[in-house]
């Protein structure tokens, strides 16, 4: 009996929006592609397009050999779990498609497997070709398809793509981060490891939602995505440093360049600035939790860029200064190269982002947003706040304190502000996401009581929790408005923002220009410190993330 594999995907540019699917049928023994199918299907959702791709793949395989065994591989967790019979299908548009897919082959001839997106690139390219053709008023044609030109991914993890733009090109770096995190938002909803909810529910989600094999594969994809997000952050920081260095005529970079030519070139300035960014990332990595190990690898790779000895030494010195402090306001006349703000940009508005200390719900891994019981800090949480206060007082850089209105953040902010001799200002935009009827429940309890709502919420940032909670898209809109308001109010100053998991991850995601699914690739501990600087030209630089070194002293 012959054995085929079917890889299928679908996407919607708008969800719902213009949609298309792609499917590949291959020989399971040799890996040879036997047939392709793709079609623009008009306006539909991501999930409907994925089911249409599955159906097309099965029909194509049936036409080749109706007696064959078929192994379906898709990056849609929803479709794989529903077709395997482990999840129920309630959406009226998907029920008939699933039922029709089950009639193509006898049930004992078809198996299903979830795979990461980077192993489903062929079908994804076909789906995008179909949507591109539809945008031109045409249908996909196999004669003009280029989807099969890429090499099929090997069983082992493929090498990470390098940024395609010039050194410090933030746009290119962000594009590569998006490619690593997902093939594209318009090719289907993200399949997160877990939800970035209050009190670290994401760890529980990863353990409960994924089977062992899927968990292992997705963990590999997450590590690759994290490296690319870090690389995008460094690229953005390097680009900002390059612009400031070019405008200010940094002395160290100029002296290094003059060793070879009369004037420094833009490429040399970029390389020197990039070296400083890499060194800063390396030192930050050494001070953070387990996530620091991945960041160190990124810093080592970034240091392979060539820089002249004098320029590299100056840039690394500046990088070390940036890493030794959460944020130091730039002097009116810059005295250090690399990270100091140029006179025409002025000092940045720097947000030091502090997640509140532990509450009684934190170790229980329960949803705790802005719509629940509003718990205060536990004794452990108060001690964490005191340690943060000691560290920030020693650094002496905080000029104002702003907090979320919830009790745990107000209490954390009060402990720190008292030590710093500052008062606390409340901003409603910094509150945590409202998790609706899930407040106070564990992830496992939510899965038992509201499985369909939970699946939709994990797959789509616009989905709300049961009972009218707040979507991550709505949270991002609120946080972005607060960011604009606070940057204007505290221009050139360093401000401590005491807030929660989702707002802090959103500040970082927006600064990196990363897509919504980046939220699921970040770990954030209680009482951890992060920092983002915002410049007058619109650039942002992530300077620190999830630093908990002050809790280990």
Instruction: Write out the catalytic residue numbers.
Output: 356, 432
Dist CA 378 CA 538 (whole Å):
39
Cβ atoms within 10 A of the Cβ of 505, count?
28
* Segment holding 25, helix H or strand E: strand 17-27
| Backbone phi, psi, residue 506, to 5° | -70, -40
Query: How many Å apart are CA 74 and CA 8, to the nearest integer?
Result: 6
Q: How far is CA 498 from CA 156, 202, 352, 485, in A?
A: 42, 21, 8, 16
Q: Which residues are within 8 A (CB) of 335 and not within 5 positions of it... i.e. 6 or more apart?
A: none
Which of these, 2, 41, 46, lies nearest to 20 by C-alpha position? 41
Cα of first residue to Cα of last residue in the chain, in angstroms, is 64
In terms of C-beta density within 10 A (0-12 exposed, 13-18 middle, 19 or more buried), how is residue 30 classed? exposed
Q: What would the two tokens of residue 79 be?
A: 């479709």
Q: How far is CA 162 from the centre of its chain?
A: 18
Q: Is 137 left (phi over 0), alpha (psi -120 to 50) or beta?
A: left
Burial pattern 144-169, b for ≥16 Cβ within 10 A else e, equals ebebeeeeeeeeeeeeeeebeeebbb
User: Would you give the DSSP letter of residue 341?
Assistant: P
Residue ranges in 370-428 assigned as alpha helix (H): 379-395, 407-420
Helix/strand/coil for 368: coil
Token pair 């994925």 is at which residue?
50
Residue 532 DSSP SS3: strand
Shortest CA distance to 50 belongs to which of 104, 9, 5, 94? 9
Burial 105-122 (b: 16+ CB within 10 A, else e): beeebbebebbbbbbbbb
8 close to 74: Cβ distance less than 8 angstroms: yes
Judge contact between 18 and 47, C-beta under 8 A.
no
For residues 112 and 105, give the distance between their C-alpha atoms in angstroms, rounded to a whole number: 13
263 annotated as belonging to a binding site for a ligand: no
Instruction: Using DSSP bridges, classify how beta strands 33-44 and 349-355 pair: parallel, antiparallel or unpaired.
Output: unpaired
DSSP conformational letter for 522: -
Q: Angle CA(46)–CA(48)–CA(52) in degrees, nearest 5?
A: 115
42 pairs with which residues across the strands? 19
State how far the Cα of 299 lies from the Cα of 485, in Å rounded to an integer: 33
> Which of 83, 76, 11, 92 is CA-nearest to residue 44?
11
Distance of CA 374 to the CA centre of its chain: 28
DSSP 454-519: HHHHHH-TTPPPTTT---HHHHHHHHHHHHHHHHHHTTT-EEEEEE-HHHHHHHHHHHHT--GGGG
Known binding residues for substrate:
408
Known binding residues:
408
């Amino acid at each position: 009996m012959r054995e085929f594999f079917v890889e299928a995907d679908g996407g919607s540019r708008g969800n719902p929006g213009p949609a298309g699917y792609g499917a590949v049928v291959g020989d399971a023994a040799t890996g040879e592609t036997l047939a392709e199918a793709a079609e623009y299907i008009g306006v539909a959702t991501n999930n409907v397009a994925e089911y249409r791709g599955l159906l097309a793949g099965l029909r194509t395989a049936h036409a080749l050999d109706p007696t064959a065994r078929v192994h379906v591989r898709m990056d849609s967790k929803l479709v794989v779990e529903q077709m395997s019979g482990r999840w129920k299908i309630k959406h009226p548009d998907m029920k008939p498609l699933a039922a029709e897919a089950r009639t193509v082959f006898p049930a004992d001839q078809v198996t299903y497997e979830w795979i990461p997106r980077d192993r489903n690139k062929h079908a994804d390219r076909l789906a995008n070709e179909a949507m591109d053709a539809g945008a031109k008023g045409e249908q996909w044609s196999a004669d003009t398809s280029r989807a099969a030109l890429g090499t099929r991914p090997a069983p082992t993890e493929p090498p990470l793509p390098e940024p395609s733009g010039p050194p410090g090109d933030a746009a290119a770096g962000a594009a590569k981060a998006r490619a690593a995190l997902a093939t594209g938002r318009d090719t289907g909803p993200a399949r997160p490891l877990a939800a970035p909810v209050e009190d670290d529910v994401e760890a529980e989600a990863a353990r409960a939602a994924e089977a062992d094999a899927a968990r292992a594969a997705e963990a590999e994809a997450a590590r690759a995505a994290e490296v690319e997000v870090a690389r995008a952050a460094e690229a953005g920081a390097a680009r900002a440093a390059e612009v400031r260095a070019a405008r200010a005529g940094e002395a160290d970079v100029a002296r290094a360049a003059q060793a070879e030519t009369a004037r420094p070139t833009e490429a040399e300035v970029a390389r020197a600035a990039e070296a400083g960014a890499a060194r800063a990332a390396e030192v930050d990595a050494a001070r953070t939790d387990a996530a620091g190990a991945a960041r160190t690898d990124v810093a080592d790779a970034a240091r392979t860029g060539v820089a002249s000895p004098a320029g590299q030494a100056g840039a690394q010195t500046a990088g070390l200064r940036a890493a030794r402090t959460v944020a130091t306001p730039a002097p009116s006349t810059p005295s250090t190269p690399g990270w100091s703000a140029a006179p025409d940009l002025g000092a940045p508005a720097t947000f030091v982002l502090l997640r509140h200390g532990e509450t009684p719900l934190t170790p229980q891994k329960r949803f705790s947003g802005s719509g629940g019981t509003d718990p205060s800090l536990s004794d452990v949480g108060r001690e964490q706040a005191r340690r943060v206060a000691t560290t920030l007082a020693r650094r002496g850089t905080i000029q104002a304190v702003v907090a979320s209105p919830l009790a745990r953040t107000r209490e954390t902010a009060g402990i720190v502000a008292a030590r710093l001799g500052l008062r606390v200002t409340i901003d409603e935009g910094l509150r945590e996401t409202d998790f609706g009827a899930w407040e106070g429940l564990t992830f496992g309890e939510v899965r038992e009581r509201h499985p369909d709502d939970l699946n939709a919420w994990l797959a789509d940032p616009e989905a709300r929790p049961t009972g009218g909670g707040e979507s991550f898209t709505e949270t991002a809109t609120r946080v972005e408005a607060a960011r604009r308001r606070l940057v204007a109010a505290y221009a050139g100053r360093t401000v401590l923002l005491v807030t929660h998991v989702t707002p802090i991850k959103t500040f970082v995601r927006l600064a990196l220009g990363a897509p919504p699914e980046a939220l699921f690739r970040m770990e954030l501990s209680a009482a951890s410190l992060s920092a983002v600087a915002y410049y007058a030209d619109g650039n942002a630089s992530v300077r620190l993330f999830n630093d908990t070194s002050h809790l280990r002293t």
